[in-house]
Structure 1
Amino acid sequence: MASLEDRISKPQKGQTAGDAEAFNGTNSAQPTSAAGETGSWPDETSAVDTNSGPSTVEAKAEEEMSSLSRAQTDGASSEQRGTSGIYEPSYEVDVQLSDLQKDSGNPLHSIKSFEELGLDEKILQGIYQMRFTKPSKIQEKALPLLLINPPQNMIGQSQSGTGKTAAFVLNILARLDFSDSMVNKPQAMVLAPSRELARQIMGVCQVMGQALDRLKVEASIPVEKAERGKQITGQIVVGTPGTTMDLIRRRQLDATNIKILVLDEADNMLDQQGLGDQCIRVKHLLPRNVQVVLFSATFPDNVVEYATKFAPSSNTITLRHEELTVDGIKQLYLDCPTETDKYDSLIRLYGLMTIGSSIIFVRTRKTALEIERRMNEEGHTVACLTGEFDGSQRDVIIDSFRCGHSKVLIATNVLARGIDVQTVSLVINYDLPDDGRGHADPQTYLHRIGRTGRFGRVGVSISLITGPQSYQMIKEIADYFAVEMTSLPHDDWDKVETIIKKVIKSSRASADYNKAGKSAEINMG
Structure 2
Amino acid sequence: MSAPTADGGSLAGRISKPETMNAQAESFQPQSGTSWADEVASPVTEKPSAPVAVEEKKPESSEAPVSQVDGATAPFGGSELHEPEFDVEVKLADMQADPNNPLYSAASFEQLGLHDNILKGVMAMNFRKPSKVQEKTLPLLLLNPPHNLIGQSQSGTGKTAAFVLNILHRLDLSTEQLQKAPQALVLAPSRELARQIVGVVKVMGSYMPGLIVEAAVPQDAASRGRKIEASVVVGTPGTVMDMIRKRSMDMKGLKVLVLDEADNMLDQQGLGDQCIRVKAMLPKNIQIVLFSATFPDNVVKYAENFAPNANQMTLQHQDLTVEGIKQIYLDCDSDKAKYEILVKFYGLMTIGSSIIFVKTRETALAIEQRMTAEGHKVVSLTGGYEGAQRDVIIDSFRMGHAKVLITTNVLARGIDVQSVSMVVNYDVPDKFVGGGKFVADPQTYLHRIGRTGRFGRVGVAVTFISNRADWEKLMEIQRYFGTEMTKVATNDWDELEETVSKIIKSSRAGANFKDGARMEMQD
TM over 0.5: yes
Distance of 1:488 and 1:331 partners within structure 2? 10
Match 1:333 to one of 329, 335, 358: 329
1:267-309 deviation per Cα after TM superposition (whole angstroms, max 9, x unaligned): 0001111111111111111111010000011212221111111
Q: 1:170 to 1:44 in 2, by over 3 A?
A: farther
Contact 1:43–1:414 under 8 Å retained in 2: no
Distance of 1:228 and 1:516 partners within structure 2? 49
SS at match of 2:345: helix
- Which is further off, 96-105 or 482-491? 96-105
Give the equivalent residue in structure 2 for 1:33. 34
Give the equivalent residue in structure 2 for 1:66. none
Structure 1 residue 105: deviation in Å? 4.5
1:138-175 deviation per Cα after TM superposition (whole angstroms, max 9, x unaligned): 10111011111111111111111101001000000011
- Which is further off, 469-478 or 441-450? 469-478
Match 2:427 to one of 420, 424, 431: 431
Q: 1:453 to 1:35 in 2, by over 3 A?
A: closer
Q: List gaps (5 residues or longer) in structure 2.
A: 1-31, 47-66
Provide the TM-score with structure 2 as the length reference: 0.85
Contact 1:156–1:294 under 8 Å retained in 2: yes
Structure 1 residue 99: deviation in Å? 2.7
Contact 1:73–1:163 under 8 Å retained in 2: no
Match 2:106 to one of 80, 102, 111: 111
Match 2:353 to one of 334, 348, 357: 357
SS at match of 1:435: strand
SS at match of 1:456: coil
SS at match of 1:307: helix
Contact 1:73–1:132 under 8 Å retained in 2: no
SS at match of 2:330: strand
Give the equivalent residue in structure 2 for 1:461. 461
Contact 2:83–2:517 under 8 Å retained in 1: no
1:416 is aligned to 2:395:
no
Match 1:137 to one of 124, 132, 153: 132
1:80 is aligned to 2:76:
yes
Give the equivalent residue in structure 2 for 1:187. 183
1:210 is aligned to 2:206:
yes
Q: 1:400 to 1:169 in 2, by over 3 A?
A: same
Contact 2:323–2:453 under 8 Å retained in 1: no
Distance of 2:446 and 2:462 partners within structure 1? 12
Provide the aligned C-alpha RMSD in A.
2.3
Distance of 1:319 and 1:363 partners within structure 2? 28
1:491 is aligned to 2:481:
no
Structure 1 residue 44: deviation in Å? 8.7
Distance of 1:44 and 1:493 partners within structure 2? 39
Structure 1 residue 103: deviation in Å? 3.0
- Which is further off, 370-379 or 461-470? 461-470
Give the equivalent residue in structure 2 for 1:447. 447
Distance of 2:149 and 2:136 partners within structure 1? 11
Distance of 2:180 and 2:514 partners within structure 1? 40
Give the equivalent residue in structure 1 for 2:23. none
Which residue identity does 1:152 align to in structure 2? H
Contact 2:35–2:41 under 8 Å retained in 1: no
Which residue identity does 1:90 align to in structure 2? E
Distance of 1:425 and 1:211 partners within structure 2? 34
Q: 1:361 to 1:515 in 2, by over 3 A?
A: farther
Structure 1 residue 515: deviation in Å? 13
Match 1:150 to one of 139, 145, 153: 145
Contact 1:270–1:306 under 8 Å retained in 2: yes
SS at match of 1:178: coil
Distance of 1:42 and 1:455 partners within structure 2? 31
- Which is further off, 476-485 or 239-248? 476-485
Give the equivalent residue in structure 2 for 1:20. none
1:277 is aligned to 2:273:
yes
Give the equivalent residue in structure 2 for 1:65. none
1:469-515 deviation per Cα after TM superposition (whole angstroms, max 9, x unaligned): 22212211222222221122211111111111111111111214589
Give the equivalent residue in structure 1 for 2:363. 367
Contact 1:74–1:164 under 8 Å retained in 2: no
Runs (4+) of structure 1 moved beyond 3 Å? 31-36, 42-48, 512-519
SS at match of 2:507: helix
Match 2:84 to one of 82, 85, 89: 89
Distance of 2:391 and 2:404 partners within structure 1? 16
Provide the TM-score with structure 1 as the length reference: 0.84
Q: 1:405 to 1:101 in 2, by over 3 A?
A: farther
Structure 1 residue 42: deviation in Å? 4.0
Which residue identity does 2:504 align to in structure 1? I
Distance of 2:419 and 2:514 partners within structure 1? 13
Give the equivalent residue in structure 2 for 1:254. 250
Contact 2:355–2:423 under 8 Å retained in 1: yes
Structure 1 residue 327: deviation in Å? 3.3
1:23-58 deviation per Cα after TM superposition (whole angstroms, max 9, x unaligned): xxxxxxxx943679xxx524799699xxxxxxxxxx
Identity %: 60
Q: 1:387 to 1:130 in 2, by over 3 A?
A: same
Q: 1:265 to 1:354 in 2, by over 3 A?
A: same
Give the equivalent residue in structure 1 for 2:224. 228
Match 1:345 to one of 341, 353, 362: 341
Structure 1 or 2: more helix by fraction: 1
Structure 1 residue 362: deviation in Å? 0.6
Structure 1 residue 224: deviation in Å? 1.9
Paired residues, number:
464
Q: 1:471 to 1:419 in 2, by over 3 A?
A: same
